Structure 1
Amino acid sequence: MRIDVIGGGAIGLLFGGRLAEAGADVRIWTRTSEQSAELAEDGIELHPLDGSAARAVRVKSSWIGNAGQHIKDENGTGRTVLLTVKQTDVDEQLLERLAMIACPVSTLIVSLQNGVGHLERIKSRTGEAPVLAAVTTEGARRLGPRSVRHTGSGDTWLGPWKENEGKADHMLENQQKMLVSMLQSAGFASSLSKEMESLILRKLMINAVINPLTALFDVTNGELPQHPARKRLMKALLTETETVLRAAGMKIREDGWRLIEEVCERTGGNVSSMLSDVRAGRKTEIDSINGQIVRMAENLLLAAPLNQAIVELVHALD
C-alpha cells in the first residue's frame, strides 16, 4: 500500500515509521530539505512505548517544495495521503502542494488536524479527491529531525465528514477498509466511524483542556492533574467547554472528566504539541482550539470566559 505522509512532526514520524514497518510503501514529505535528506539517508528512528531499544525504519522522503515532481501512481490501485501537520500549517502554500501530491482522483486524503474548519479548506483545493476526517489520541514526541518517541497508546478513528456523506463508492469504501487494516497491522487501534463530527468535537474538548494548561504550567500530560489547583482548573475548563460543544452538536457517551483523566494517564509522558511550541518559540494552535470554542460560544449566544482567558494567557507566552 502506498502512503504519503505530509508532515515530519511527531505524529507524522510515528505513523509513517510504524506503517513502513508493517509493509506499507511510505514517503514522508517534510517542510525542510535538510530533514528530508536525513530521513532518506538514515530512516526514522522509532523509540517504542515500552522503553525498549530504538530501531531504524527505512522510508522514502521528499521536500514538500518539490511536490510538483510527485510520483505517479504506478500500480493504479490508488494512494493514501495522511496530512499530519498542525492546523496552523494548513495555509495556502501547503494546500497547493497537497493538491499536487493528491492529484489522482483515486488518492484518499486523510486529515489528522486538531480543531475544526480545516476540512472545508482542504476540500476546496483538492477537487474530486475524497477527503476523510481522522481523530487520534496516540501520543508522540519528536526527539530530532528523524527521531520520535511513542509516549502513549490511544485510538484512531476514520470516516466521512458531512461534506462527503453519501458520496462514497465501492472503491472508496475498499480503500478505507484497507487503510484501517494497515493501521491495525502497524499496531494502532483503528476503526471506521460514521460519527466523525462528534468525534472531532470530542477531540477538540480534550485538546481544549489538556493542551493549553500543559503549556501554561510547563508540565507533561500525566503531571497536569497531579496538583489540586491545576485539577480544579481543568474541571472548570472542561465544564465550560463541554457545555459549548454539546450545544454545537457533540454527542458523547463517556463521562467527560473520566475521559480527560484517561487521556492524561495513557499519554502520561507526552509533552503536548502546544507546550512543545511554547518551548520552541513557535506559534501555537490556541486560536484553532480554545479560540474556536470562544467563537462557537458567541455563535450560540453562550459565554466562554475561561476559554477566552486561556487564549489570552497562551498568547502572552508566544
Structure 2
Amino acid sequence: MNIIIVGAGALGLSYAARLSRAGEEVVLLARTDKQAEALSAEGLLYKETTGEETTIEVFARSVSDYLGSGREGAFSPDWVMLAVKQPSVDDGLLDDLRRLTAGGVPLLALQNGIGHMELLSEALPDSPLFAAITTEGALRTDPRAVIRTGTGRLTFGSWANADKCGAEPQKMLLRALSGAGIDADMSKEIKDQVLLKLLLNAVINPLTAIFQVKNGDLPRDPYRLMLMRALHEESEGILRAAGLASTEDHWERLLGVCAATAQNESSMLRDVRAGRDTEIKWINGGIAAYAKRLGMPSRLNDAVLALVEALGAS
C-alpha cells in the first residue's frame, strides 16, 4: 500500500519506521530539507521498547520540495496520514493537503485536541476524512531517530465523506497497520473516542508540563494526584455535557495510561522545555470553550491553560 506521512516528529517517524520495515511504500514528508536529507542519506534510526535498534531506509522529502518538484504525480497514495501537531494545521498546510489528497485520497488525522477536523472538513470537502487517536508513546531524539517509549493502540474511524472511499481502503489500512506491528482497530464511535482522548490529554499533558515529570511520575505524589483527580472530574463533567457517551471508568483508564507510558515525556512537556508552541489551546482551551458554550465553569482548565502559557509557550 502507498502511504504519505505528513510530519516527521516522534509519531510520524515511529509510524514511518514500522510501516516501511513491513514493506509498505511510504513517502515521509518533513518540515525542512535538512531533516529530509538526513533521513534519506542515513536512514531512520528506530528503537523499540525492548531496546532493539534498527536503521530503516525511508524516502523522505520536505513538503515544499516534494510538491514543488511535482513528485506527487509519480506516487499515487492510497492514504495520507497527517502526523503534525495542531499549531501546524494552518492555511499553508491545508493548501498542501488539498494537493496531496487530490482525486479523493482518504486522509487520517492524528492530532491531539479538538478543532482540527472541522478545519480539515472545510478545506477538503471532497476527501474522505478519518480521525485517529493513539495512546502510544514516542520520543524523537534527533531529526532522524525515534524511540518508542510506550505501548498503546491506534483507533480510527470515519469523520466525513467515508462513503466516497468505501470500506475496502479502511480494511487495507487496518491490515497495513497490523502487519507493521501497530495495534490498531476501527471504531464507529470515533467522535466519542476523540473526546475520551481529549479527557486523557487534558490531565496528563498540562500537569506533566507544569510539574516537569514523566507520565508515570505524575500520580506518584499525593499533591499531584489530588490535582489530577480534580482536573479530571471537571473535564469529564464538561465533556459529558458536550456529548461524551462512554460509561467506562475514565479515572482508572487515565491511571492505566500513565502506567503504560510511564517512561514517556508528554509532547507538551517536551514542547515547553524546547520553547515551542504547545497544543494547550486545543486541549484544555478546547474544553474551556465547550464549557463557555454550555454555561459551565472551567476554573481548573482555565488555570492550567494560563500556567502552561506562562511557561513561555502558547
Aligned amino acid, residue 282 of structure 2: S
After TM superposition, where is structure 1 displaced by more than 3 Å over at least 4 residues in a row? none
Asked if residue 300 in structure 1 is aligned to residue 300 in structure 2, the reply is no
Equivalence for 2:304: 310
Match of 2:163 among 144, 159, 168: 168
Q: Is the partner of 1:168 in helix, strand or coil?
A: helix
Q: Cα distance, 1:72 vs. partner?
A: 2.6
Asked if residue 18 in structure 1 is aligned to residue 18 in structure 2, the reply is yes
Distance 1:41 1:128 in 2: 36
Q: Is the partner of 1:224 in helix, strand or coil?
A: helix
How many residues align structurally?
Answer: 310
Asked if residue 88 in structure 1 is aligned to residue 87 in structure 2, the reply is yes
Q: Cα distance, 1:252 vs. partner?
A: 1.9
Q: Cα distance, 1:70 vs. partner?
A: 3.7
Q: Cα distance, 1:249 vs. partner?
A: 0.7
Aligned amino acid, residue 260 of structure 2: R
Equivalence for 1:101: 100
Distance 1:140 1:192 in 2: 22
Asked if residue 283 in structure 1 is aligned to residue 284 in structure 2, the reply is no
Q: TM-score, normalised to structure 1's length?
A: 0.95
User: How do residues 227-242 of structure 1 correspond to structure 2 at under 5 angstroms?
Assistant: 227-242=221-236
Q: Cα distance, 1:168 vs. partner?
A: 1.6
Distance 2:205 2:231 in 1: 12
Aligned amino acid, residue 182 of structure 1: A
Distance 1:70 1:159 in 2: 29
Distance 1:273 1:265 in 2: 17
Q: Is the partner of 2:168 in helix, strand or coil?
A: helix
Question: C-alpha offsets along residues 198-253 of structure 1, whole Å, 9 cap, x if unaligned?
Answer: 00000000000000000001011111111110011000000000000011111223
Q: Cα distance, 1:189 vs. partner?
A: 1.3
Aligned amino acid, residue 150 of structure 2: G
Aligned amino acid, residue 47 of structure 1: K
Asked if residue 156 in structure 1 is aligned to residue 154 in structure 2, the reply is yes
Aligned amino acid, residue 129 of structure 1: S
Distance 2:71 2:250 in 1: 43
5+ residue gaps, structure 1: none
Match of 1:274 among 258, 268, 272: 268
Distance 1:225 1:16 in 2: 32
Aligned amino acid, residue 307 of structure 1: N
Aligned amino acid, residue 71 of structure 1: E
Aligned amino acid, residue 104 of structure 1: G
Equivalence for 1:207: 201
Q: Is the partner of 1:225 in helix, strand or coil?
A: helix
Distance 2:278 2:127 in 1: 29
Q: Cα distance, 1:188 vs. partner?
A: 1.4
Q: Is the partner of 2:131 in helix, strand or coil?
A: strand
Identity of aligned residues (%): 42
Q: Cα distance, 1:73 vs. partner?
A: 6.0
Q: TM-score, normalised to structure 2's length?
A: 0.96
5+ residue gaps, structure 2: none
Q: Which moved more, 1:247-256 or 1:14-23?
A: 247-256
Equivalence for 2:192: 198
